[in-house]
Structure 1
Amino acid sequence: MEESVVISIENVNKAFKIYHDKPLTLKEKILKLRSNDYSDFFAVKEVSLDIKKGETVALIGHNGCGKSTLLKLITKILYPDSGRITVDGRISSLIELGAGFHPDFTGRENIYTNAAIFGLSRKEIEGKLGDIISFSELGDFIDNPVRTYSSGMYMRLAFSVAINVDPEILLIDEILSVGDENFQKKCFDKIDSFKKNGATIVIVTHDLGTVEKICDRVIWLDKGQIIEQGQPDKIINLYQQHMNEKFVEQRQTEFDSNEDIKKEQDITKKIETNENESVPQFSEDVRWGSKEVEIIDARIINHSGEATNVIMGGKPFTIEIDYIVNSPQKKYIFGMGFYNSDNVLIYGNNTEIDKIKLENINPTGTVEFINDKCNLLSGRYKLNVAVVDGSHRALDFIKYYMDFTVVSSDRSVGVFSVDHKWLINKTNT
């Protein structure tokens, strides 16, 4: 191991058996009533990684990607099936907090036993006892049995023991939300002091804001393998974009499935009631107009040409409005609008605003509102569609035609993403 490397991971694999038809009872096991077939699930696969002294490194990725397994391999809670892990320095792990606590022992007694697990002598524990009790904020409860503690008190005590053993290597797994806001701040201050004193820190968390704030390097894992690693802002942006795309794919699949079910139900209803009408039904609160021109359907089309209810920020999309003319008009104005989740109109447009004159249109047809780039920020929205005559008399106005979601990688706040750049003028001193 190089002098500055304190954690060396070389070609490490860790698999778990996934049983397809596991015997559930002794009888089934003896009589072999089930096949007992299994396959290997690789939680960590061919991972090689060096972490240097003083680095603060984050492991990120979706649930089941291998983050926590890798952390447990480093702490020797688990052992690799193949490969080698070498660690140089005293480890304190904030992984399974309070794993060594006995419910009938007092908090004070559990401090001694738990700190001993971390490798402290009794003399060292006595020297730190006051700091541990003070940090936990348990006060007189420290001499009560741990079984009488609330879950928050239990976690605070466990965190306080682990954080006060002066580790050279600190491993943290999703426990940065222990206690109230003040206690969390105290925890972050303690972690920051470790960082400033040259300790090596490895964090597993979904809190990407914390990762970007305190980490020197980010490692993105997926299916037990390292996908990317590097500067926090770069890797986090790549990861968020990937997760956004996965979310959109999932929502699109759900939307397509629901549309298929809806079509089947509509067909069944028409057969049973001899209905041929395809116009969507809305209450009078959200739909009004003379119906001289009627909106028979509307949809959002994504950048791949699919009808959808989820849009990727920055990608093109189209709103299609199908209509039928029941009574010809001298002038037609088609419009659309977006409402936020509080039902506040945040954007509206129509053909008249854009100086498009519609005086003669086909008896049936489709009007398209085409947007080359979705500038809405992440959130839930509602679409309204409408057609009015030249005097702005409602022919068919549907206020909340459909709900849709926008998933954007833009981390700005508000409703819209605005194209911009910053220019910093340096002043002479």
Structure 2
Amino acid sequence: MKNNPVISINNVSKKFKIYKDKPLTLKEKLLRLRSDDYSDFKAVDGVSLTVHKGETVSLIGHNGCGKSTLLKLITKILYPDQGQIKVNGRISSLIELGAGFHPDFTGRENIYTNASIFGLSKKAIDEKLDDIIGFSELGHFIDNPVRTYSSGMYMRLAFSVAINVDPEILLIDEILSVGDENFQKKCFEKIENFKKSGATIVIVTHDLGTVEKISDRVVWMNAGKVVAEGDADQVLNLYKQHMNEKFVQQKQIEFNENAVQASKEKSTIAKKELQVISDDNHWGSREVEITDVRIINKNGEKTNAIIANESMSIEIDYKINKEQKEYIFGMGFYNSDLSLIYGNNTEIDKLKLKDLPQIGSIQFHIPTVELLSGTYKLNVAIVDESHRALDFYKYYMDFSIVSTDKSVGSYSISHQWKVKS
């Protein structure tokens, strides 16, 4: 397989003009008198890639990274500004479904038109016609003009034509959500049959589950360049790690912006005279006050987004306005349904807190966070030895957990499946 390249991409680049100002008149559109009113955007930048016969290769990356443009260059929908692309084999592309369909032609007539674009003769189309119609599940609607079709019917017909022309190379761009669940399952089975027959598949998708399921090799693109390529599991792990870090960084930015406003609000509260607070989300005598709460990641950084299976700490700053015999600090985690999923306090853990400094901080440390991805709410509280609320915050703050575990619920539980005879 490695000695049979069917797609060879050598130092290929493709750029587009991005105009700074929209022309206001036809004259401006025609003349474009100023040469500096646009900038060049490199959608594909010096990409070299070889795809071998029988391989299934997935292109991954965020929107705008160049994946779809690269597929269009392979199919000659677009042409490169630099470099060469060589293709050895008949291509069927599921990129722009329905390209070549005429709205006033019937579905049957459009099958002949569209299949001929893929290089089939009329005789070959005649032989495949029943299979294409059957696969599309359009029934008697096949003899209606396609302009009367729903978008789902239109896409099913286009997919059925493209996938039933027995290509040697199949190119797919984010269209595996065509039709209902049963139709999608049928599409995946057809693609699996392509794999087993030794056909070559190049797929662009954001669905990492699909990538894991069908890929032999993965190419990760960013800003028009290849960041990494190789074994599917290895590249996917790198990509997931990158996306997790990016998510945490974005959450950190949001957190910092919100923290500025929260700090102003807390400063205003601190200036008020000491008084009993009582509302739905905050109550207590304020004989001891919670002045700040922080979530700290494994690097000691303040954040509101934590990566699963890493450590985190919750730090509660306090100020004692009136001394107590004993101080009990507690916290609770709530899921998005506002159900309590975990609660703890210093009394439960038999930690007696007496004679505390007037101003200080208490830390709750979690060595390994075993929560699934989601947004959680945090309750924090200080009560006295009789459990009288000194300062109690319900849903004090939200925080996010980022996990690659696809289990459902709130907890990631270590487990193993076994077949026992």
Amino acid at match of 1:311: I
Residue 262 (structure 1) shift? 4.5
Q: 1:92 touches 1:162 (CA, 8 Å); kept in 2? A: yes
Query: Measured at CA, do residues 168 and 33 of structure 1 come closer, stay the same or move farther in structure 2, by a change above 3 Å?
Result: closer
Structure 1 partner of 2:131: 131
Structure 2 partner of 1:290: 285
Amino acid at match of 1:231: D
Aligned length: 421
Query: Measured at CA, do residues 31 and 150 of structure 1 come closer, stay the same or move farther in structure 2, by a change above 3 Å?
Result: closer
Query: Measured at CA, do residues 409 and 425 of structure 1 come closer, stay the same or move farther in structure 2, by a change above 3 Å?
Result: closer
CA distance in 1, matches of 2:356, 2:57: 62
CA distance in 1, matches of 2:340, 2:354: 28
CA distance in 1, matches of 2:263, 2:419: 59
1:98-247 equivalences under 5 Å are: 98-247=98-247
CA distance in 1, matches of 2:236, 2:13: 25
Amino acid at match of 2:400: T
Structure 1 partner of 2:334: 339
Cα deviation code 1:348-387 (max 9, x no counterpart): 2222233322110122222222233333221110101011
Matched, 1:377 2:372: yes
Amino acid at match of 2:73: L
Amino acid at match of 1:315: E
CA distance in 2, matches of 1:103, 1:426: 58
Amino acid at match of 2:185: K
CA distance in 2, matches of 1:42, 1:33: 23
Amino acid at match of 1:148: T
Cα deviation code 1:232-271 (max 9, x no counterpart): 222112111101111111121122123234545777xx5x
Residue 34 (structure 1) shift? 6.2
Q: 2:292 touches 2:318 (CA, 8 Å); kept in 1? A: yes
Query: Measured at CA, do residues 133 and 386 of structure 1 come closer, stay the same or move farther in structure 2, by a change above 3 Å?
Result: same
Query: Measured at CA, do residues 295 and 21 of structure 1 come closer, stay the same or move farther in structure 2, by a change above 3 Å?
Result: same
Query: Measured at CA, do residues 180 and 395 of structure 1 come closer, stay the same or move farther in structure 2, by a change above 3 Å?
Result: same
Deviates more, 1:331-340 or 1:297-306: 297-306
Cα deviation code 1:127-156 (max 9, x no counterpart): 111111111111111111111000000000
Deviates more, 1:345-354 or 1:220-229: 345-354
Cα deviation code 1:152-178 (max 9, x no counterpart): 000000001001101010000000010
Matched, 1:407 2:402: yes
Indicate the SS of the match to 2:102: coil
CA distance in 2, matches of 1:112, 1:301: 63
Query: Measured at CA, do residues 207 and 300 of structure 1 come closer, stay the same or move farther in structure 2, by a change above 3 Å?
Result: same
Q: 1:278 touches 1:296 (CA, 8 Å); kept in 2? A: no
Residue 210 (structure 1) shift? 1.2
CA distance in 2, matches of 1:121, 1:313: 56
Deviates more, 1:62-71 or 1:14-23: 14-23
Structure 1 partner of 2:355: 360
Structure 2 partner of 1:396: 391
Q: 1:290 touches 1:396 (CA, 8 Å); kept in 2? A: yes
Q: 1:22 touches 1:35 (CA, 8 Å); kept in 2? A: no
Query: Measured at CA, do residues 283 and 217 of structure 1 come closer, stay the same or move farther in structure 2, by a change above 3 Å?
Result: farther
CA distance in 2, matches of 1:423, 1:89: 43
Residue 419 (structure 1) shift? 5.7
Residue 118 (structure 1) shift? 0.6
Considering only aligned residues, what root-mean-square deviation do their CA atoms show, in Å?
2.8
Query: Measured at CA, do residues 425 and 180 of structure 1 come closer, stay the same or move farther in structure 2, by a change above 3 Å?
Result: closer
Matched, 1:38 2:38: yes
Query: Measured at CA, do residues 157 and 240 of structure 1 come closer, stay the same or move farther in structure 2, by a change above 3 Å?
Result: same
Residue 301 (structure 1) shift? 2.6
Indicate the SS of the match to 1:374: coil
Structure 2 partner of 1:88: 88
Query: Measured at CA, do residues 300 and 171 of structure 1 come closer, stay the same or move farther in structure 2, by a change above 3 Å?
Result: same
Amino acid at match of 1:337: G
Query: Measured at CA, do residues 319 and 121 of structure 1 come closer, stay the same or move farther in structure 2, by a change above 3 Å?
Result: same
Q: 2:58 touches 2:205 (CA, 8 Å); kept in 1? A: yes
Cα deviation code 1:80-122 (max 9, x no counterpart): 1111111111100000000111111111111111111111111
1:301-320 equivalences under 5 Å are: 301-320=296-315
Deviates more, 1:109-118 or 1:220-229: 220-229
Deviates more, 1:18-27 or 1:349-358: 18-27
Structure 2 partner of 1:13: 13
CA distance in 1, matches of 2:370, 2:2: 49
Q: 1:19 touches 1:36 (CA, 8 Å); kept in 2? A: no
Query: Measured at CA, do residues 392 and 412 of structure 1 come closer, stay the same or move farther in structure 2, by a change above 3 Å?
Result: same
CA distance in 1, matches of 2:131, 2:31: 58
CA distance in 2, matches of 1:233, 1:277: 57
Query: Measured at CA, do residues 197 and 388 of structure 1 come closer, stay the same or move farther in structure 2, by a change above 3 Å?
Result: same
Indicate the SS of the match to 1:165: coil
Deviates more, 1:286-295 or 1:219-228: 286-295
Amino acid at match of 2:351: I
Query: Measured at CA, do residues 413 and 352 of structure 1 come closer, stay the same or move farther in structure 2, by a change above 3 Å?
Result: same
CA distance in 2, matches of 1:113, 1:120: 10
Q: 2:277 touches 2:284 (CA, 8 Å); kept in 1? A: no
> Can you give the 5+ residue segments of structure 2 that lack an aligned partner in the other structure?
none
CA distance in 2, matches of 1:137, 1:364: 72
